[in-house]
Every structure is written in C-alpha cells, then in structure tokens.
Structure 1
Amino acid sequence: MDFIIFAVAMTALIYGADFIIKESERIALHFNISHFVIGATLIAFGTSLPEMAASMMASGAGKSEMAIANVVGSVTFNITLVLGLVFLISKKMTSRRNLFDRDSAWVVVPVILFMLMIQDGLISRIEGALYILVMFSYLIFLFTDSKEDLVEEIDEELMKEKFKWLKTTQFLLIGFILTIGGAHFVVESGTNIAKIFGVSEWIIGLFLIAFGTSLPELVVSLVAIKKGNAEMSIGNIIGSNVANFSMVLGSAALLNPLSIDLIATKFDIYIMIAASLTLLFILANRLYNKAGAIFLLTILTLFILNSI
C-alpha cells in the first residue's frame, strides 16, 4: 500500500509543481513582464520545485537525512542520468554558448560550499541563509549574462492563449494543494517503505524521492531534444542543480538545522562530486556526444551498484 501511496503522491507532487509553473508564467505574460525575467525565474525555480517541497516537508518532519539525500540524489541523477541520456540520444550538439567559461563556476561552487558546510555533520540555519544568498547571486548572473537563452524558455502556446483569472486561480490552487499534499505523503510513505525493507531514510531519499523529483528535469531535457535544442538541457541542469543546493537545501536548513552522518553517506557524496567534476571535464572539452554519455552513465551504474 505504501508503494501505491508513494507513486500517487510523487505524481501529484510533479503535476502540482507543473501547474504552479505554468500558471505563474501565464500571469507574468498577462502583466507583460519581460520574457527574459520569466525565463530567468523559471530556470532557477521551476524544475526544482518538487525537490524543494519534498526536502522542506522532510526537514519539517525532523527527517534531515532524507532532506539532504534528496538533494544529493537529485544532483547526481540530473548529471548522470538526464545529461547521460541527452548526450546518448541527441545528434551532434554545437552549443553557441561557451558553457565552460560562463557556467563552470556554478557547477563546482555549490558543491564546494556543501562540502565545507557538512564537515561538522550539520547544516545550520545560518548556513542555510548563506545558500539562499547563493540563489540570489545566481539570479543576478542569469539577469546579466544569458538573456537570449532565457527568452527561448518561454512557452509559445501560453502566449497565444486568452488569459482568464478564474481558471488561472483555480489551477494555481490545485497546484499548491497537489504539491504540498504530494510532498507530505511522499515523505510519510517513503519513511514507511524504509522501515519495511530495513533500509535508512537516506537510501529512500537518495533513490526513490530523488529519482522521482528529477523526472521534471528529464522530461524538459527530452522535450528540448525533440525540438532540436539539446544544448539548452546542459544549462537547465546546471541551473537546476544550483537551485537544488541553494534554494532547496537552504530552505530546508532554515526550517530546521540538517544533520548528516558523514561516514555512512560518504560514498554517495563522493559519487555526486565525481559526477560534478565529470560534467566540468565534459564542458571543458565539449564532449557533448556518446563519449560524454558513457562517462556519465558509468558513474550512474557505480552509484546504483554500490547502493544495491
């Protein structure tokens, strides 16, 4: 029964987040807010909304390891699974943007901050606030650096639709109910599944919750491939990972300080670091091809085998 509840709750969480993103974009377009501004905020916050809801709910329930595991697992899945599949499926990618020059700092700095913060086995409220500042700095970066890329993120279909306040308000309300309710039951059912199988809440957060909350990134990336914009997936994943560390982990730590067992979780953290460094290597050498995919999927395989 807990598996069914988990699956239904995860679906509600993802669809709820999608409703919130779509209706927020609809409102912004109605008030003639710059397409660039909409794109910037959607990239920064949009696909990380499920992770944020799940981690904050876990933190509020005193399950700090589940909250951190969700972020560690999501970052790992985003890089190894999502980008691995993007590089494997897509044809030759020629990015107009020099991703290594412009985005490499955003790959490594959040990871370095994370490693520094957990040395005492605790991410405090002050450290959570510092992560929120990182989110603001990333928004400033988006607003000053990547205007053309962000405008392309706007949903063209929404621009053509007639705006209706009642419909938008209803969908926003449904979105918030599904997101909050879904996050609550994801954490509760996930905890019960951990007890049934005698595994830690860290493992549940790392795999079940992290994989589920990474599905929006996967869907967005596959759609980008279909539209011939596969190179945009890399920037979106980098932005999502920045949001996972700063907005998701920062908000969860502000709610409750997060403790972590460094010995029990070290391999998973090493895998996340390895994935980030591999992404850095791929950006530096522009290995947006099957070779890059093999590197990333190999790390994913090691990640899964170790946990099994």
Structure 2
Amino acid sequence: MDFIIFTLAMGALIYGADFIIEESEKIALHYNISHFVIGATLIALGTSLPEMAVSISASIKGSADIAVANVIGSTIFNISLVLGVVFILAKKINPDRDIFAKDSAWSLFPILIFILMAIDGKLNFIDGILFLLLMASYLVFLISSNSIDEIDEELEKEKFAWGKSILLLLVGFVFVVGGADFAIDSASNIARTFGISEWIIGLFLVAFGTSLPELTISIKAALNNNADLAIGNIIGSNVANFTMVLGLTSIINPLNVDLSANFFDIAAAFIVTLMLVFITANKLYNKSAGIALLVVLGLVIQNSLA
C-alpha cells in the first residue's frame, strides 16, 4: 500500500509542478525575458518545488536524512541523468549564451558552501539565511544579465486570463504540498519495512521522483532546439535546491548532516558538477558527453547500493 501511496504522491508533485511551470513560462514570455533566464529562474524554481516541499516536510517530520539526501540525489540526477539524456536526444545544441563564462561558478558555489557549512555536522538558522541570500544574489545576477530573445508572436497576441492562471497556480501548489506530505510518510514506511536507510530512500527513490519535472521540461526544450532553456533549467534547479530548498528547510528546523558517513554520495554530486563545468568550458554539448554522464550515474548507483 505504501508503494501505491508513494507513486500517487509523486504523481501529484509532478502534476502540480507542471501547472506552476506552464503558467510561469507564459507570464515570463509575455515580458520578453530570455529563454536561459526563464529556464534558470521561473522554470528552475518551479521544477524545484517538489524538492522543496519534500525536504521541508521531511525536516518537520524529523527525517533530516531524507531532506538532505533529496537535494544531493537531485543534483546527481539533474546533471547526470537529465543532461545526459538531453545531450543524447538533441539534434544540435549550440547555446547562444556563454554558459561557462557567466554561469559555471554558480554551479559550484552552492555545493562548496554546503560542504563548508556542514563541517560542524549541522545546517542551522544562520546557514539557512546565508543560503537564501546566495539565491537572491543569483536571481539578481540573472536578471541583470538577461539578453532579449525573439518575442513569441502567439504569446504576444494572447490575452492573459489572470483568473485562470491564479487558479492553476493555486491548484499546483496544493498538489505539490499535499503530494510531498504523503510521499515522505510512505517513503519512511518503505524504508522501515525493508530495513533501508532513509538516506538511501531520499538519495534515489525520492530524488529521482522529484527530478522528473526537470527531466520532462529539459527534454521538451532540447527536442525543440531550445538548449539554453534546458541547460539553464538544470543549473538554476541545482542552485535552487541547495540555496532555497536547504535554506528554507534549515530555517524551519536545523538539519543534521553527517559528511563522513555520506562522503561518497556528496563527493559524487561535486564530481558531476565539475563535469558540467568541464562540458560548458569546452562546449562538449554532444552525445559522447551524454553517454559519459549516464555512465557516471550508473557507477554512482552501483556503489551507493552496494
């Protein structure tokens, strides 16, 4: 029964996030914001809502391992699985933006700061505030570096149905929050039933589920030759996961983090982040890079579950 509840809860999370993402993108495009910035801000924040809802719920329920493992696992899945699949499926990827020069540092900052903050074994209220300030800095940077793309003529002509948009946004938030609550309860029960640690449940089962919105959005963007949005979505989502998700979670309830016990998984998240920086530095947006990322994911899963 817990597996059925977990599946339905994750479906609610993803379905709710989809409502929020679609309405956010419509609003952004009406104001002619660049595709990369849309991907790195509104869509990234939207696709990070499942992680945020799950981690906050887990923290409140005293499951700190699920809260932190969810963010670590989502980072691994977002880069290795999502970008790996995008690079393999996309016919051509040639971003207009110099992602390495402008955005690579933002890929590394959050995880490095997380490691430094967690050395004392805990993320507390002050750490949470600093995380949120980092997120605010990232948003200011993106908005100030916004480059104008071609306006979508259909969206330009379309009139906003504000009542409908607000209703869909509210429905999306209800699905996300409710789904997160049921997902945590059922995931914890599954872990206890099979004697699996909550860290492993959060790292793989929950993290994979909460990464599905990023996977869906990025694949659609890549197939539509919109690589800027796909890559921006992943970078923005990872920044949001560490800064906004862990920031809000640790403000609500301090999180215990055992760096030594979970060294391999945290190191894996750092390594795939370095791979992303290397790929953007050398503009290796091709199938070979995609295969390499998927191979690394396979090795991470094998070692973590061994």
Tell me if TM exceeds 0.5.
Answer: yes
Partner SS, residue 262 of structure 1: coil
Q: CA RMSD in A?
A: 2.2
Listed as ranges, the matches of 1:1-308 within 5 Å are: 1-24=1-24, 34-36=31-33, 39=38, 41-148=41-148, 161-308=158-305
Question: In the alignment, is the contact (CA less than 8 A) between 1:74 and 1:211 conserved in 2?
Answer: yes
TM-superposed CA distance for 1:257, in Å, is: 0.6
**Structure 1 residues 229, 165: closer, same or farther in 2, change over 3 A?**
closer
In structure 1, what is the Cα distance between the partners aligned to 2:33 and 2:27?
15
In structure 2, what is the Cα distance between the partners aligned to 1:84 and 1:26?
27
Q: Output the amino acid matched with 1:65.
A: D
In structure 1, what is the Cα distance between the partners aligned to 2:104 and 2:72?
19
In structure 2, what is the Cα distance between the partners aligned to 1:205 and 1:109?
23
In structure 1, what is the Cα distance between the partners aligned to 2:53 and 2:276?
26
In structure 1, what is the Cα distance between the partners aligned to 2:152 and 2:203?
31
In structure 2, what is the Cα distance between the partners aligned to 1:70 and 1:11?
17
Deviates more, 1:270-279 or 1:160-169: 160-169
**Seq. identity, %:** 57
TM-superposed CA distance for 1:173, in Å, is: 3.0
In structure 2, what is the Cα distance between the partners aligned to 1:155 and 1:46?
21
Q: Output the amino acid matched with 1:10.
A: M
TM-superposed CA distance for 1:98, in Å, is: 1.4
In structure 2, what is the Cα distance between the partners aligned to 1:25 and 1:278?
29
TM-superposed CA distance for 1:139, in Å, is: 0.4
Deviation string, structure 1 residues 87-109 (Cα, Å, up to 9, x no partner): 11222322222111111111111
In structure 2, what is the Cα distance between the partners aligned to 1:232 and 1:164?
25
| Unaligned segments of structure 1, at least 5 residues | none
Q: TM-score scaled by structure 1?
A: 0.90
Q: Output the amino acid matched with 1:51.
A: E
TM-superposed CA distance for 1:26, in Å, is: 5.6
In structure 2, what is the Cα distance between the partners aligned to 1:306 and 1:146?
41
Question: In the alignment, is the contact (CA less than 8 A) between 2:80 and 2:272 conserved in 1?
Answer: yes
Deviation string, structure 1 residues 54-80 (Cα, Å, up to 9, x no partner): 111111111111111010000110000
Question: In the alignment, is the contact (CA less than 8 A) between 2:65 and 2:199 conserved in 1?
Answer: yes
In structure 1, what is the Cα distance between the partners aligned to 2:41 and 2:213?
16
How many residue pairs align between the two structures? 302
TM-superposed CA distance for 1:160, in Å, is: 5.5
In structure 2, what is the Cα distance between the partners aligned to 1:157 and 1:220?
20
TM-superposed CA distance for 1:24, in Å, is: 4.8
TM-superposed CA distance for 1:158, in Å, is: 6.0
| Unaligned segments of structure 2, at least 5 residues | none
Question: In the alignment, is the contact (CA less than 8 A) between 1:44 and 1:139 conserved in 2?
Answer: no
**Structure 1 residues 159, 58: closer, same or farther in 2, change over 3 A?**
farther
In structure 2, what is the Cα distance between the partners aligned to 1:15 and 1:157?
25
TM-superposed CA distance for 1:44, in Å, is: 4.5
**Structure 1 residues 279, 169: closer, same or farther in 2, change over 3 A?**
closer
TM-superposed CA distance for 1:172, in Å, is: 3.0
**Structure 1 residues 87, 198: closer, same or farther in 2, change over 3 A?**
same
Deviates more, 1:70-79 or 1:87-96: 87-96
